[in-house]
Amino acid sequence: SKGGYEHFMLKEIHEQPGSLRNTIHGRLNALTGTVELDEFPAETFADVEQVQFVGMGTSYHAAMYASSMLSSRGVPAYAFQAGEYGLVRPPVTEDTLVIAVTQSGETADTLDALRRAKSAGADTVAVTNTVGSSITRECDDTLLIRAGPEIGVAATKTFCSQVTALSLLGERLVEDITGTRTSDGRDLVEALSRLPGHVQEILDTSVAPALAQELEDSDSYFFIGRGVAHSAALEGALKFKEITYEHAEGFAASELKHGPLALVTPDTPVFAIFTGFEDDATLSSMKEVQARGAPVIAVTSKTDGEIAEFADYVLPIPETHPDVAGIPASVQLQLVAYHAAHLLDRPIDKPRNLAKSVTVH
Ligand code: F6R
């Protein structure tokens, strides 16, 4: 049942404080500031030399997010769209760990990529929401994201739980592969423990409904960010296009002047995601689009500095670790997409042409 909500999507967005609590439950040690995964004790990954993530759609965005966290912390990590994996054919050895990210555990492209990696000798881990799914039967090991069933076709709570579970697994990988535990790792663990409360704050205070109204009738909607916020930007755009049927695109902020800037007009709102990492660079991208007349919406924790001063609108997020900030930012963008689609009277839980799980090619 929809539990009093008009759509499953809105219900699932609002379930996130609880689903995130489940994702981290028993997996963080607050005293030592470390991650403790029953499935993966310390040293499990000591021999891994390279990590390859595969996934599709929203799960690919979670994979990108995780690979960018890992590589910035010294682990060679790459994310591939599972459907391209067999064509790109990245080199795989027995020291390669392939992590299949899939909510349903049944996506045909992701299963194919996994099989290819396995037959090339890789170790494999499934990160999934679905106990007993095909991916769990085919991978060596599984990390469940524990988000609970998701009915809305647009993935919401499972995206945030995927990123969170991948952050936990990422900590294990960083410690095992680089052989170091850093204070940054402890800060990340602390930020993850506060995440459910942070998401609750957003749900209690979001101005997304009013903002969606302000921006109605625009031509296109753009989303920009750097690092993990690039993945959050792609996810923000995917959610927006799939349920509103409006044109939406996500870019790396650095990509703008190499083409996309030609699309920017007063009728193309731009959502700029600030995580606290390289914010000055994102601010200058924000000013660039603003100079072309685009309304800018800053998703930021810095609600009283230069960013907020220049932005036309602000979607606030709590201050947290930069690698975690993309999660509350994504919740704000889920709400904007939902309310924009609602104004347009779209069939939010079942967008045209889409299926919850794509089990064929
Ligand atoms: C978008 C969405 C899809 C799925 C994709 C992969 O909201 O839900 O892009 O993320 O089809 O599905 P899973 O995660 O089940 O492999």
One-character DSSP codes across 38-100: TTB-TTTTTT--EEEEEE-HHHHHHHHHHHHHHHHTT--EEEEEHHHHHHH-----TTEEEEE
Instruction: Give the DSSP H/E element, type plus range, for residue 298.
Output: strand 296-300
| Ligand 1: nearest atom to the Cα of 158 | 14
Ligand 1 pocket check for 44: Cβ under 6 Å: no
Q: At what angle do helices 183-205 and 157-178 cross, to 10 degrees?
A: 170
Q: Per-residue confidence at 47, pLDDT binned at 50, 70, 90? A: very high
Claim: this prediction has a pTM higher than 0.90? yes
pLDDT at 49: 97
Mean pLDDT score across all residues of the chain: 97
pLDDT at 245: 98
Cα-to-centroid distance, 161 and ligand 1 (Å)? 13
Rounded to whole angstroms, the Cα distance separating 106 from 130 reads 9
Q: What is the mean pLDDT of residues 61-66?
A: 98
Ligand 1 pocket check for 134: Cβ under 6 Å: no
**Could you tell which of 8, 9, 53, 59 is best to mutate to test the pocket of ligand 1, judged by most ligand atoms within 8 Å of the CB?**
59
Both tokens of 38, joined, read: 């029953």
Q: What is the mean pLDDT of residues 38-64?
A: 97
pLDDT tens-digit map of 286-322: 999 999 999 999 999 999 999 999 999 999 999 999 9
DSSP-derived secondary structure letter, 182: -
| Ligand 1: nearest atom to the Cα of 239 | 7
Angle in degrees, CA 278, 272, 215, rounded to 5: 170
Query: Facing residues of 223 across strands?
Result: 250, 271
pLDDT at 361: 85
Both tokens of 224, joined, read: 């920009």
Q: What is the mean pLDDT of residues 261-275?
A: 98
**What's the Cα-to-Cα distance from 48 to each of 39, 90, 115, rounded to whole Å?**
16, 16, 19
Answer yes or no: are the C-beta atoms of 335 and 316 closer than 8 Å: no
Cα-to-centroid distance, 195 and ligand 1 (Å)? 23
Answer yes or no: are the C-beta atoms of 147 and 166 closer than 8 Å: no
Q: Per-residue confidence at 30, pLDDT binned at 50, 70, 90? A: confident
**What's the Cα-to-Cα distance from 308 to each of 66, 266, 322, rounded to whole Å?**
28, 19, 18
The answer to whether residue 85 scores a pLDDT higher than 90 is yes
The answer to whether residue 182 scores a pLDDT higher than 90 is no
The answer to whether residue 175 scores a pLDDT higher than 90 is yes
Ligand 1 pocket check for 52: Cβ under 6 Å: no
| Ligand 1: nearest atom to the Cα of 57 | 9
Ligand 1 pocket check for 256: Cβ under 6 Å: no
Q: Classify residue 60 by burial, with Cβ atoms within 10 Å: 0-12, 13-18, 19+.
A: buried
pLDDT at 1: 87
- Of 182 and 231, which is predicted with more confidence? 231
Q: What is the mean pLDDT of residues 278-291?
A: 96
Which of 122, 151, 125, 120 has the alpha carbon at shortest distance from 138?
Answer: 125
Q: What is the mean pLDDT of residues 239-266?
A: 97
Place of tokens 């919401």: 156
The answer to whether residue 31 scores a pLDDT higher than 90 is no
Q: What is the mean pLDDT of residues 172-186?
A: 93
The answer to whether residue 138 scores a pLDDT higher than 90 is yes
Ligand 1 pocket check for 107: Cβ under 6 Å: yes
Place of tokens 């997304």: 208
Q: How many CB atoms lie within 10 A of CB 88?
A: 10
Q: What is the mean pLDDT of residues 143-154?
A: 97
pLDDT tens-digit map of 206-231: 999 999 999 999 999 999 999 999 99
Query: What positions carry a catalytic annotation?
Result: 356
pLDDT at 224: 98
